[in-house]
Amino acid sequence: MESADSDVISSTINSRLDRLPMTRHMWTLLCLIALGGLFEQYDIYFTGYIAPGLVQSKLITSTTASFFDLSGLAAFLASLFIGLFIGTILFSFIADRFGRRAVFLGSMIWYSLTTFILAFQGTVTGLEIWRLIGGIGIGVELITIDTYLSELAPRGARGKAFALFYGLAQVSAPLVAFMAWMLVPTAPFGFAGWRWVILFGSVGAVLVLFLRRRLPESPRWLAQRGRLVEADRILSAIEKKVQTEYGKPLPPPLESVLTLHAPGRIGEMFGPVYRARTIMLMVVNFCQTIGYYGFVSWIPTLLIAKGILVTRSLEYTFLIVLTYPIAPLLVMLIVDRYERKWQLVHSVILVAIVGSLFAMLRVPAWLVVVGCLQTLLVNWMSTIVHAYQSELFPTWMRARAVGFVFSWSRLSSIFVGFFIAFFLREFGQPGVFAFIGGAMCIIAVTVARFGPRTTGRALEEIAR
């Protein structure tokens, strides 16, 4: 403890955060995190969108001669997800140990440097190795962002915080699609267009580092670690700015919840309190990746498989992914108004239905329209998954627990590309979307049966 009155500080830190109104200062903090998230998402998305350029450069093939052929697009995508899996399952603990802010910045430096190196690779082996190494940093960043957001946002605005974050971060999707459309078919200054697409992500991420120096450490994390005077100082500074903007005294804390926790083991995830939700989230994460990346990363290739030329495929992809940042912003209208558990169930059912419709279409205009609708739905699903899983564990193990359950999505992502390539080759697009639909049905049943309610509840209440 840092002072004689530390018990008082510890018992009020969470309720003081949860009573804060969402003024300009609070939204600014979330937007700063989102700026970093924009380039983290960019780094993930370009993997699929530069694929036509890599195929034209004869560095990879669009399909695979065998299931685990390492020269195909599936292997390149898998290398990213292997890195994400390693980052989420082996290194997510560092955000619990060293703090949300420090790890947030450090992981960004990691994947910025590795992405820069990736742009200069000339062999499929080099591409896959550096994609894997960069994926480790992205995996750590993904977990840290989710824990950071859930702890900074007041209880009544957690859903909106995640929706805003992914709305701004998803600007990266149309950005990378536009750059791929413009650059991949060309070679500015004799440098292949797909390499320029990669370079932009690494340079942009470095610039954002300067903006994120304004971010504070999570007061919840500091309090849980026993650094109570520091937590009180940071929270008091936030409260002062919020009250100035609010124009009147802040609402009184409604309850006092103890933040300190006796030393525990991460194995408590499988104890009586958390076992059901842990297994439920393992299933959700393993299956949701099939619906998300099975569509998102394969849009250009799926369009080419319908007989559309590479240039047109990239153009249509750009039009489809213009809806990426719109979906989470639309989610802001409802995310805190009705239960997130049921939003997840409803979104995955719709992903399965609309995906089947996309598989049957041939007319370009309808492909774009239905592709936009499917993009809205998979992003609704993804936004809810990230918000929901970050609410279900206590602060002392939040990053590690979320990292563990989220790693199952990275594990499945390693194989998704191979399965999509297999179903596309053997059964065409109906087979691909039947595979995706089956995964979505598993999520719907699992969450409906085992998912706890979270909307409008304090993190500490949910964690009990």
User: What domains does the chain contain, in order, with CATH numbers?
Assistant: 6-251+266-462 (1.20.1250.20)
What pLDDT shows up at residue 28?
92
Mean of all residue pLDDT scores within the chain? 84
What pLDDT shows up at residue 1?
39
In order of 97, 297, 395, 446, the CA distances from 100 in angstroms are: 9, 29, 11, 30
For the segment 97-107, the average pLDDT, to the nearest whole number, is 90
Would you state the structure tokens that stand for residue 361, as one six-digit string?
A: 């279409």
**Cα 444 from Cα 330, distance rounded (Å):** 22
Cα angle 335, 339, 342 (rounded to 5 degrees) comes to 105
At 61, give phi and psi (nearest 5°). -115, 155
Crossing angle (nearest 10°) for helices 124-152 and 73-90: 40
**Cα 224 from Cα 245, distance rounded (Å):** 28
Instruction: Quick: pLDDT tens for 66-93.
Output: 556 667 777 888 888 889 889 998 998 8
Lowest mean pLDDT, pick from 50-64, 414-428, 447-461? 50-64
DSSP assignment string, 258-316: --------GGGGGSTTTHHHHHHHHHHHHHHHHHHHHHHTTHHHHHHHTT--HHHHHHH
What pLDDT shows up at residue 63?
59
pTM confidence score: 0.80
For the segment 245-261, the average pLDDT, to the nearest whole number, is 74
- Give the closest residue to 96 by CA, choosing from 378, 398, 448, 442: 398
For the segment 169-182, the average pLDDT, to the nearest whole number, is 86
At 72, give phi and psi (nearest 5°). -100, 170
At 257, give phi and psi (nearest 5°). -125, 125
Contact between 327 and 375 (Cβ < 8 Å): yes
Crossing angle (nearest 10°) for helices 124-152 and 364-391: 60
For the segment 201-226, the average pLDDT, to the nearest whole number, is 80
Instruction: Pick the more confident residue, 145 or 427.
Output: 145
Residue 3 pLDDT class (50, 70, 90 cuts): very low
What pLDDT shows up at residue 264?
57
Instruction: Please list, in sequence order, all residues whose beta carbon lies within 8 angstroms of the beta carbon of residue 451, skipping any fewer than 6 positions away.
Output: 277, 280, 341, 344, 345, 388
Would you state the structure tokens that stand for residue 172, as one six-digit string?
A: 């990266």
Percentage with pLDDT > 70 across the chain:
89
pLDDT at 54 over 50: yes
Residue 308 pLDDT class (50, 70, 90 cuts): low
What pLDDT shows up at residue 258?
53
pLDDT at 9 over 60: no
**Cα 407 from Cα 154, distance rounded (Å):** 27
Residue 174 pLDDT class (50, 70, 90 cuts): confident
* Residue 25 C-alpha from the chain's centroid: 24
What pLDDT shows up at residue 225?
86
Residue 259 pLDDT class (50, 70, 90 cuts): very low
pLDDT at 213 over 90: no
